[in-house]
C-alpha cells in the first residue's frame, strides 16, 4: 500500500496548476445520463472518484472515451472525456458500486427523470440520519415520484406521464440534493422551484452545463433556483471549473511552509472567504493574469478563528487543512464545524506531530506551537489526509502518511505538484 513521505523545512516557490474540480466533475458526469447525445467535458481531473464513477456510468450503459480514445487509454492530466448514454441498459445502481463512493447515489435523479424508474443502493455506511439521503427522497417525492426503501435500496418510480414540476424548500442546505433535484427537474412536466438551494460554484457550473444542453434553469447561485421542464436535452461541450478546494489547500500549504507560488488556472472569486482567512493568518494573496499568487516570507502565522458554513462561507472541505495551518500559529485559534459531525478525526493524527488541540462539541481549540516534529500518521479521510501533508511540510524531520488512497480520491498528482515547488514529498510503495 502506498504512503507519502514528507521531509519538512523547505519553502515552496514556483507554479502549481490547479485541476478541474472533483466536486463539479462528478455531477456533470452524472448529467450525461439525461441525454442520448454526447456530453463532452473538458478539464476532467484524473482521480480515483472520477474513475469509480466512470465504472458506475458504464454499468448504466454509458459509452465513455477520452480524447476520442477508450477511457483506459486516456491521458491522466486535464483530460477531455466524452460521455454518450444513448441506451440506458440498467436503471439499477448496485451496492457493490455505490458503496465505494457516496456521490454515485446521485444517478437516481437522471435515471428517474429519463427512464421513469431507478433502483439505487443506499450509500455505504449511510444510516439515514448521518449525512442523510432523506432530502433527496423528499425532494423527488415532491416531484411526484413514488419511493420505497427495501433491502438497502431506494426504489423510485415516476408517474405515467413523467415527473411533475413542484415547489420544494430544502429543510437545510444540501449541495448533493440540489444537484439531484435540479437534474431531475430538467425533464419534469412544468416548473420546479427549489427554495433554500445550495449556492456553491459547483451548483452554478452544473446549471451552466445543463442550460447548454437545452435546460431552462435560472437563479443558480442564489437560494432560489427555478427549472422549467423541457421534453429532452441534447449534447453539449463544457469545461469543468477550477477546483476551489485544491486552490485553498495549496494556498494553505504555501502559508504553512513559506515561499512564493502562483496557483495557475484558478479563480479567487471561488473561495473569497477562505482566502481572506489565509490573508488574516499572514499570507499575501493577489490575483494575476494566470491565477492566484500566494506569498509568505519570514512573517509568522497569526491565529484566526473560523466557522464552516455553506457557500459563500468557509468551506467544510478546507476545515482540516486550515487546522493544520493553525497548529503553527503564534496564538490560540478556534475552528467550529457546522456542516458535518465527526469531521475532527484528523485531530489525533495532528497531535502525533506535536499539535496542541482540544475539542469541545463542534469547536476545536488550537494552541499554536513553535515546532512540529515528523512522525508516522494515518489518513482518516480525504481532507484530513491533506491536512497531515500541510503539517508535515513545516515539521522537523520525516512525516510518513499512510492510507493515502484517500488523497488519490481528490488530489491529482499532489506529490508532483509540491515537489516541483521545492518540497521534499515522495510516494513510497511497500
Q: State whether residue 134 is helix, strand or coil.
A: helix
Residue 342 annotated in ligand binding: no
Annotated catalytic residue: which of 7, 78, 88, 126? Answer: 126
Residue 23 annotated in ligand binding: yes
Beta carbons within 8 Å of 219's beta carbon, 6+ residues apart: 197, 225, 226
Residue 22 annotated in ligand binding: yes
Beta carbons within 8 Å of 91's beta carbon, 6+ residues apart: 60, 111, 115, 117, 118, 119
Residues 6, 308, 128, CA angle at the centre, nearest 5°? Answer: 100
Task: Give the C-alpha separation, 77 to 61, whole Å.
Answer: 25
Dihedral-angle region of residue 265 (phi above 0 means left; psi in -120 to 50 means alpha; beta otherwise): left
Among residues 52, 93, 245, the alpha carbon closest in space to that of 180 is found at 93
Contact assessment for residue 69 and residue 82, using Cβ atoms and an 8 Å cutoff: no
Task: Give the C-alpha separation, 203 to 412, whole Å.
Answer: 22
Residue 135 annotated in ligand binding: yes
Contact assessment for residue 12 and residue 263, using Cβ atoms and an 8 Å cutoff: no
In angstroms, the Cα distances linking 208 to 178, 215, 240, 291 are 14, 9, 10, 22
Residue 173 annotated in ligand binding: yes
Distance, first Cα to last Cα, the chain? 6
Residue 172 annotated in ligand binding: yes
Contact assessment for residue 69 and residue 50, using Cβ atoms and an 8 Å cutoff: no
In whole angstroms, what separates CA 402 from the centre of its chain? 21
Length of the chain: 430
Residue 280 annotated in ligand binding: no
The sign one gets for the Cα dihedral 56, 58, 63, 64 is: positive
Residue 126 annotated among the catalytic residues of the structure: yes
Residue 339 annotated in ligand binding: yes
Among residues 242, 245, 184, 244, the alpha carbon closest in space to that of 210 is found at 184
Cell 515561499, located at residue:
259
Beta bridge partners of 210: none
Contact assessment for residue 6 and residue 423, using Cβ atoms and an 8 Å cutoff: yes
In angstroms, the Cα distances linking 106 to 52, 56, 111, 200 are 14, 11, 9, 17
Contact assessment for residue 389 and residue 412, using Cβ atoms and an 8 Å cutoff: no
Q: Which residues are catalytic?
A: 126
Write out the binding residues for UDP-N-acetyl-alpha-D-glucosamine.
102, 131-135, 172-175, 317, 339
Write out the binding residues for phosphoenolpyruvate.
22-23
Write out the binding residues.
22-23, 102, 131-135, 172-175, 317, 339
Amino acid at each position: 500500500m502506498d504512503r507519502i513521505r514528507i521531509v519538512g523545512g523547505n519553502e515552496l516557490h514556483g507554479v502549481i496548476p490547479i485541476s478541474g474540480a472533483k466536486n463539479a466533475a462528478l455531477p456533470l458526469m452524472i448529467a450525461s445520463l439525461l441525454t442520448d447525445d454526447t456530453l463532452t467535458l473538458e478539464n476532467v481531473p484524473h482521480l480515483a472518484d472520477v474513475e469509480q464513477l466512470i465504472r458506475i456510468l458504464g454499468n448504466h450503459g454509458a459509452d465513455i472515451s477520452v480524447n476520442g480514445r477508450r477511457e483506459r487509454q486516456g491521458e491522466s492530466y486535464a483530460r477531455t472525456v466524452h460521455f454518450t448514454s444513448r441506451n440506458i441498459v440498467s436503471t439499477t445502481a448496485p451496492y457493490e458500486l455505490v458503496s465505494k463512493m457516496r456521490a454515485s447515489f446521485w444517478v437516481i435523479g437522471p435515471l428517474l427523470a429519463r427512464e421513469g424508474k431507478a433502483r439505487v443502493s443506499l450509500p455505504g455506511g449511510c444510516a439515514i440520519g448521518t449525512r442523510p439521503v432523506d432530502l433527496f427522497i423528499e425532494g423527488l417525492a415532491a416531484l411526484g415520484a413514488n419511493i420505497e426503501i427495501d433491502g438497502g435500496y431506494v426504489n423510485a418510480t415516476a408517474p405515467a406521464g413523467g415527473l411533475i414540476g413542484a415547489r420544494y424548500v430544502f429543510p437545510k442546505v444540501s449541495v448533493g440534493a440540489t444537484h439531484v433535484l435540479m437534474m431531475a427537474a430538467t425533464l419534469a412536466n412544468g416548473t420546479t422551484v427549489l427554495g433554500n438551494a445550495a449556492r456553491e460554484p459547483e451548483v452554478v457550473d452544473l446549471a451552466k452545463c445543463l442550460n447548454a444542453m437545452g435546460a431552462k434553469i435560472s437563479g443558480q447561485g442564489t437560494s432560489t433556483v427555478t427549472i422549467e421542464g423541457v421534453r429532452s436535452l441534447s449534447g453539449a461541450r463544457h469545461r469543468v471549473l477550477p477546483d476551489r478546494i485544491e486552490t485553498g489547500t495549496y494556498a494553505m500549504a504555501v502559508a504553512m511552509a513559506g515561499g512564493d507560488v502562483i496557483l495557475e488556472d484558478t479563480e479567487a472569486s471561488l473561495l473569497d472567504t477562505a482566502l481572506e482567512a489565509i490573508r488574516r493568518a499572514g499570507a499575501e494573496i493577489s490575483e494575476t493574469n494566470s491565477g492566484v499568487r500566494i506569498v509568505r516570507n519570514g512573517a509568522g502565522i497569526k491565529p484566526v478563528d473560523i466557522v464552516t458554513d455553506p457557500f459563500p462561507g468557509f468551506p467544510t472541505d478546507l476545515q482540516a487543512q486550515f487546522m493544520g495551518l493553525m497548529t503553527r500559529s503564534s496564538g490560540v485559534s478556534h475552528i467550529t464545524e457546522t456542516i458535518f459531525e465527526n469531521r475532527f478525526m484528523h485531530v489525533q493524527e495532528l497531535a502525533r506531530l506535536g499539535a496542541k488541540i482540544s475539542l469541545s462539541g463542534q469547536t476545536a481549540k488550537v494552541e499554536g506551537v513553535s515546532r512540529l516534529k515528523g512522525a508516522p500518521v494515518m489518513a482518516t479521510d480525504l481532507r484530513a489526509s491533506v491536512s497531515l501533508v500541510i503539517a508535515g511540510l513545516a515539521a522537523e524531520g520525516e512525516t510518513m502518511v499512510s492510507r493515502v488512497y484517500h488523497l488519490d480520491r481528490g488530489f491529482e498528482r499532489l506529490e508532483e505538484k509540491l515537489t516541483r515547488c521545492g518540497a521534499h514529498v515522495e510516494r513510497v510503495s511497500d
